[in-house]
A and B are shown apart, each in its own frame.
Chain A
């Protein structure tokens, strides 16, 4: 007799938030330059506290603002120094190592154009690429793929198993497929083809949704972790770490293959730290550690392809500069974006630091945005995937003509 456990199994979490969404084509212009670039976008839902992830330890107002919760260079929870002004949360040694070897770039005081504080509108702007929420049902990642000249499908025979929920960033007209491991004995190919036949005749939308499914599980073996979904997960932090690592590792192994997808997206939930944030050893430290583990797993999973890869970690907005009444932070504005990958010209924190004095805070409460996240992503898409700059300004991030792509992100 088996029992459902209290918490999500790894598989459930994969289904809920770690499903991989991937594009199975090779960008042609990059290929013409002798490159075969990979891009993985990781969306952190719930709004990451950028100040707790990358602390401005050199800012004279930092400790006054956060009090005992301010991470500093000294003490038992000493941060990992980056550039003399900023330091990294001690839960992220992998990111620190990558930064030191010029394979990580951190953009601080960055925000999308969204200036209210609703998660769902914020995620809508983050993922849609529009300046306002509710503007569209497609995501910027999908639209850049539609407009990217393709050198042909990677492996037309390998269709993809699908996950239950598609995030907005990946939705749209480009044929994006998703993968999640399935616990059930799958329906036979014969049943599948009969159903597809029925859908083709009576419901083309359902047909399209089901069509790409097939032999993907042959590409990414679920591996031994999935073999026993009921096994004890240990401490909650370890379980979440394992979830993140498993999803990231599967994504990386997928994208490492010569016949694997070149562009993918993952989403991790749980960053909405209203109470007991625990930047040093509580919940946020655990989540950041899990993210750090995921970044490490991506690096090793990509293998040789890591050299040509960029991973962009983004979130809908930041959190209040001050700690709230319940040792957490409420919804804020600017935050950080984390870029890692062998193709980056890294080892830098890019910031036009706004300061933390009362007068410098956005609406007297949040870190003020001085970098536009769209500029960062446009820089990546242009210089890494060779997306067209006009397409980026008009179709991918409509209304961003005045937001110039950030130069010099790539080697």
Chain B
């Protein structure tokens, strides 16, 4: 829970004859994160990786073809059959698939041809309809002699632009017909401007229409002849569709089975392509959670005693970005885990801050939003989200857990502050009333910030220790030097603000100077400790400026990080203030405290819960992400993706 799940790297050496069975076992375990081990192949010429890649490509091609056929026939993919343990020989299946494909393709091609012809005829009709009333022979429209004229189709969105472009040219652009995508237009002008008009038409993607050569007469006569042919063609198309429906009935199940076999084979071959190949053996490399290692090992040994398994437990001793990171937190923390991964995925050697977040987030929220009534509403709202009873809010179920917990903590703080639905005189304050103790609550908020930041520093130090990053650990502004600087500055400030504090001024001054110098020269000192040269890069003058800014930035960041927590107290005060305003407004509207008074109070409370609740949530998230996480969290861990040979249904 405090760290990503312990992982063990395993290398499985499998004799060739057991490779498929072994692959199925690791895939079915649902916990094997595969690593590309094809580089381990010791001999060239065995052709394995390439072979598997080819098999994968062949299976993928078959899958695509089958999908295309199924799509054409309107057959759904269905669910994977239960018996998909072995790899399908694509070459053996190919003839059957081809037969099916040819059978379907023949009918489909005929249908497509007929449809194309039909479309062409319908297109002619559409082109001619706008000029149906023109009493000329269609042939005469083809080559006008005295005017430049184009009858054509243009994308609708280009029409206005074409018109704009011809503003200074004597020309007529007449849209004859238009649907949502295209327009039939006539562009006419004098032959003198033919070149300009032609270039303008072309640049507006106006495609001249081809009028039918086989049909003679006026547009009306040609349209009538075309319509007769269209009817004939539609009958033929209906016949073809009947044949397709028959095929769908008779071949549907067979195609679905074939599709899933091809798909399983492709995914299996993909996995196999990433194995290393020795002469008669395969090397499978990957990671499994340590807790699942024994079960996987025993299942593999069950296949054959010849399978060799080497397990190398990973240590958190060094930064290793290759170890996949699986976060394992109890169900109630999953929502907080999501908040962490939105910011970044911890690295393997890093502390998983989910638990910290789960503890501090509701506390900070509750302290800012302390009210028994408002907390209760939030908790109920959270419960509603968790219950998934409202279908439109189902996606927010995880968030519901956070809202519920925050609501409960707000209730707790509500009792401490003595506030219920903004009424400050109904309950006694078990601790303090924020409005009456503003300075105290602001100071306490900063104090809480100091504690949290110190916790962040300590976690950062622990992370640096675990990663064996000595430079960061000793001299980094989030390491020991940073923490010392922070506390010595706090000591200095306390000495100045609290007279009579039994700490000599010299101690924090000296500590601040030493730690400040360490932070300033952290890069140089790190290089010194790690034996890296040169100690200084980019010239002494640049370096001098850089270190001064480094210290300045560290100081500013310490100050701003700490002061950021003032907002916890400020929001506690603002919450009480805002609630008071609601009652003042209600009293102004209804001095006699009638129904209107309570309506205003109810609406005001809803506003506080919605608006202020939201802002407090954002501020809490901000405090966690920017002030707290920045002290220790590096992120960038690799995602743990267990191998699967079949997609899970519903994915």
Asked if A and B are interacting partners, one says: no
